[in-house]
Structure 1
Amino acid sequence: MWRRRKPEEHFFDVPAEEDPEVHLGQLKKFSLRELQVASDNFNNKNILGRGGFGKVYKGRLADGTLVAVKRLKEERTPGGELQFQTEVEMISMAVHRNLLRLRGFCMTPTERLLVYPYMANGSVASRLRERQPSEPPLDWDTRRRIALGSARGLSYLHDHCDPKIIHRDVKAANILLDEDFEAVVGDFGLAKLMDYKDTHVTTAVRGTIGHIAPEYLSTGKSSEKTDVFGYGITLLELITGQRAFDLARLANDDDVMLLDWVNASSQEHTFEFQFQKYFSHSQNY
């Protein structure tokens, strides 16, 4: 029997120009062996998610603490260690209730790993579209709090970090939920961090198809507005439960891009019907 494949997000990554060298920072450094043991040697059964930056594994440290270990996908050759550690330090200094706190990192000649607290309630994307029957749907009050919390986190990155941090990949999959279902923005700073390669390329068009602002895609120049666009698409995900980019919509002659689908539905005066159909369906599970 044929099984329908789960829709995949399409990550866009185009390198661009150089940045100057930065100074070394300080942060807890894990050994590769520690993280191998914690994740059962990066066993596939411990994969929490995967995306444009790499795979994330659930791990348990020697003291019993649960963590999420992000294994950056591109192997490194010697070089770029100073830049990598400095960017990691920058990420670690972004501390806010609605930001995922970096706990530590690991760096070897061929590995780059980041260690974060484990978020038991997963991501907004998984709760909207992949939740288990035993998991309650996100009610309207929770969705409202998620929208506000993620906005506060992004505002902190833009207005209170020096230098400011542009996320460049704001989406429901990067909004995590803590034990109280408070929104926690994750993966911030990674677009900049992943730009440090052997060629020292540092500015790139990075993001997930369906979430990338048109002007960013055409010019390669990101700003706070880049994140505001991604946040707007995330709000549409919260409201409709739909993916930002979904080829499955072609089966109904609908637009694959969520923004286009919403615009078309609004013009055809069917958006309210589509929305009510989704929300009543999600509430009945």
Structure 2
Amino acid sequence: TLPVVSSLLIVICVWLVWICNLGGKQKNKKNLKKVMSGTSSTSVELHDGNLKYPFISFKEIVLATNNFSNSNMLGHGGFGNVYKGTLEDGTKIAVKRLSKGSGQGVIEFRNEVILIAKLQHQNLVRLLGFCIHGDEKLLIYEYLPNKSLDAMLFDATRKSMLDWPMRFEIIKGVARGLLYLHQDSRLKIIHRDLKASNILLDAEMSPKISDFGMARIFGGNQQQEN
């Protein structure tokens, strides 16, 4: 009877683990639906139930960032802090941890997840996943080792790397990204917050436009007024 009891216990344990995982996934879907069903015009225009959002667990992110250690902080802004991390498979990531209780942070989260999920270009930052855990809302991006353009420009040592040919290549890359957003993508996107701190540089110094929290989608009959 001992083998039978042991087998039964194993089956019960496997079933409990499956139930817990299923419950977690259902909760994540409910949280995502709640966040995405905002009342702003942007969320209404951009909501798409067919989008697939890659979910990364909060536990994985805590481990990857060493519990959001200050030594892993890459920067901070009005919407929250950004941390460097490494997933278990060795993938390096940048985690944007949105400020808790910030209504603007919720809008940014919704914009970034929906917009970047629809847009793909070599000069746009790539979203790897997201996480909703209680009041925590996190966005997970590819890690770009040379950080932002403004960090490079105002660093007395590193700015020497930016000779004029390199600067010209960065300008061309940003222009290609903007052309894609304004004309070549299936959505016409106006970034509305383009600045040196939102231009990230990869290992080859190729620029990638980031931070779509204030972006807006425009139809063919809409015009942007300055």
> TM-score with structure 1 length normalisation?
0.55
The answer on 1:103 being equivalent to 2:128 is: yes
Q: Which residue pairs with 1:113 in the alignment?
A: 138
Amino acid at match of 2:114: E
Secondary structure at 2:130 match in 1: strand
Query: d(CA) in 2 for partners of 1:151 and 1:42?
Result: 34
User: What is the aligned counterpart of 1:18 among 40, 47, 56?
Assistant: 40
Q: Which residue pairs with 2:165 in the alignment?
A: 141
Q: Which residue pairs with 2:213 in the alignment?
A: 190
Secondary structure at 1:149 match in 2: helix
The answer on 1:39 being equivalent to 2:61 is: no
Query: d(CA) in 2 for partners of 1:222 and 1:112?
Result: 32
Q: Is the 8 A contact 1:76 1:110 kept in 2?
A: no
Q: 1:165-221 CA distances to partner (integer Å, 9 max, x unpaired)? A: 22111110111111111111111x22259xxxxxxxxxxxxxxxxxxxxxxxxxxx9
Query: d(CA) in 1 for partners of 2:121 and 2:169?
Result: 16
Amino acid at match of 1:18: S
Q: 1:136-162 CA distances to partner (integer Å, 9 max, x unpaired)? A: 431000101111111111121122334
Q: 1:142 to 1:134 in 2, by over 3 A?
A: closer
In the TM superposition, what is the alpha-carbon distance from 1:104 to its structure 2 partner?
Answer: 0.7
The answer on 1:157 being equivalent to 2:173 is: no
Query: d(CA) in 1 for partners of 2:215 and 2:165?
Result: 34
Q: Which residue pairs with 2:94 in the alignment?
A: 68
Gaps of 5+ in 1: 1-16, 194-220, 227-285
> TM-score with structure 2 length normalisation?
0.69
Q: Which residue pairs with 1:94 in the alignment?
A: 119
**Stretches (4+) displaced over 6 A:** none
As a proportion of its length, which structure holds more helix?
A: 2
Count of matched residue positions in the alignment of Structure 1 and Structure 2: 177
In the TM superposition, what is the alpha-carbon distance from 1:85 to its structure 2 partner?
Answer: 5.9
Structure with the greater relative contact order (CA < 8 A, sep ≥ 6): 1 or 2? 1
Secondary structure at 1:181 match in 2: coil
As a proportion of its length, which structure holds more strand?
A: 2
Higher mean alpha-carbon deviation, 32-41 vs 88-97, is at 88-97
Q: CA RMSD in A?
A: 2.9
Q: Is the 8 A contact 2:201 2:207 kept in 1?
A: yes
Query: d(CA) in 2 for partners of 1:184 and 1:84?
Result: 19
In the TM superposition, what is the alpha-carbon distance from 1:29 to its structure 2 partner?
Answer: 0.4
Q: Is the 8 A contact 2:152 2:158 kept in 1?
A: no
Query: d(CA) in 2 for partners of 1:86 and 1:145?
Result: 29
